[in-house]
């Protein structure tokens, strides 16, 4: 059986994860209306850490591995993208540009672990990349250069976190994400105090509504513990070139939720780009199965 082919239940799990991630861009926008970006990120990983860390045994992973993941995902990915989404890029477009992590992840996997790219992977990435490029070409009114740069850096940090998790495939991935938050929350709080100031941090937390705290809990438990825990579990069992492109569905959910809940327009150019992204995903999903059938016929 070709390891590139995802079992149906693994595919459904991946789709559930990216749906949560896509909707989370709308949730993030609502939270950022009240909380400064670094404060929001720090609270997110604090709630992911506590109380779960007291009930989950430390995973079978070196401290340096947990630290690298915590810093890359917590500080690098979310610290940067939350700053970008505070007025520099729209939620729908942020959900798209963040998926550049697919290209970073696959590139790092090829460079570090020697994974082999097959023809259908290249075609899938070409189609999805065309969709991303088309959206970026037409989305100038919804993002500043700073917003795009911060979101791309965030995507690169996400890719680094993806590669780090693949070094400990036997670890309990839920515990892994929880314990790695030990290295996310403290530096995020320190950066929040340094750049946002004690007054902004304390007053925003004091004035946070139940809806804002619900958004923090959604991000911590749904987006972080479920989303990143299960994503790391999938990456530990399948090639990065098979799993990472599935996150290209995130902008489909992200733009859809933004249109429904934030009234972001869905212009024809956005729908064209979404069709290209979905075409790339179809090639990525069908390719392994066609390769299996050809191998079976040849045998």
Q: What percent of the chain is modeled with pLDDT above 90?
A: 45
The residue ranking higher by pLDDT, 131 or 284, is 131
Determine, yes or no, domain membership for 107: yes
Confidence at residue 296, expressed as pLDDT on a 0 to 100 scale: 67
Confidence at residue 139, expressed as pLDDT on a 0 to 100 scale: 64
Of the candidates 24, 47, 101, 27, the one whose C-alpha atom is nearest the C-alpha of residue 225 is 47
Confidence at residue 250, expressed as pLDDT on a 0 to 100 scale: 85
What's CA 40's distance to the chain center, in Å?
A: 16
Question: Taking residues 223-246, what's their average pLDDT?
Answer: 82
Determine, yes or no, domain membership for 97: yes
Determine, yes or no, domain membership for 269: yes
Does position 117 have pLDDT exceeding 80, yes or no? no
Number of domains in the chain: 1
Of 91-95, 138-142, 173-177, 200-204, the range with the highest mean pLDDT is 200-204
Determine, yes or no, domain membership for 1: no
Confidence at residue 4, expressed as pLDDT on a 0 to 100 scale: 59
Of the candidates 152, 172, 191, 169, the one whose C-alpha atom is nearest the C-alpha of residue 71 is 191
The residue ranking higher by pLDDT, 288 or 235, is 235
Q: Rounded to whole angstroms, how far apart are CA atoms 152 and 150? A: 5
State the residue range of the domain holding 287.
22-298
What's CA 167's distance to the chain center, in Å?
A: 19
pTM across the whole model? 0.83
Confidence at residue 1, expressed as pLDDT on a 0 to 100 scale: 42
The label of the residue with tokens 């299960």 reads 230
pLDDT tens profile 64-78? 999 999 999 999 999
Determine, yes or no, domain membership for 7: no
**Confidence band, pLDDT 50/70/90 cuts, at residue 56:** very high
Q: Cβ contacts of residue 171 below 8 Å, gap of 6+? A: 59, 60, 61, 236
Does position 157 have pLDDT exceeding 70, yes or no? yes
């Amino acid at each position: 059986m070709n390891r590139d082919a995802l079992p149906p239940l693994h595919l459904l799990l991946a789709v559930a994860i990216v749906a949560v991630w896509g909707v989370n861009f709308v949730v993030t926008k609502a939270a950022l209306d009240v909380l400064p970006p670094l404060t929001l990120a720090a609270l997110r990983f604090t709630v992911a850490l506590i109380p779960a860390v007291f009930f989950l045994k430390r995973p079978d992973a070196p401290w340096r591995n947990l630290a690298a993941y915590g810093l890359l995902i917590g500080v690098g990915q979310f610290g940067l993208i939350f700053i970008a989404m505070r007025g520099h890029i729209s939620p729908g477009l942020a959900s798209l540009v963040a998926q550049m992590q697919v290209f970073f992840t696959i590139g790092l996997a090829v460079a570090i672990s020697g994974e082999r790219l097959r023809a259908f992977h290249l075609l899938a990435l070409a189609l999805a990349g065309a969709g991303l490029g088309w959206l970026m070409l037409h989305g100038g009114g919804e993002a500043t250069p700073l917003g795009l740069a911060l979101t791309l850096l965030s995507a690169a940090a996400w890719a680094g976190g993806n590669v780090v998790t693949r070094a400990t495939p036997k670890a309990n991935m839920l515990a892994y994400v929880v314990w790695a938050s030990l290295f996310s929350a403290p530096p995020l709080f320190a950066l929040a105090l340094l750049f946002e100031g004690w007054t902004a941090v304390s007053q925003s937390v004091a004035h946070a509504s139940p809806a804002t705290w619900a958004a923090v809990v959604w991000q911590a438990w749904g987006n972080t513990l479920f989303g990143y825990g299960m994503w790391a579990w999938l990456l530990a069992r399948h090639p990065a070139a098979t799993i990472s492109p599935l996150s290209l569905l995130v902008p489909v959910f992200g733009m859809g939720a933004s249109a429904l809940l934030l009234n972001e327009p869905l212009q024809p150019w956005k729908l064209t780009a979404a069709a290209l992204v979905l075409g790339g995903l179809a090639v990525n999903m069908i390719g392994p199965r066609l390769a299996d059938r050809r191998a079976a016929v040849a045998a």
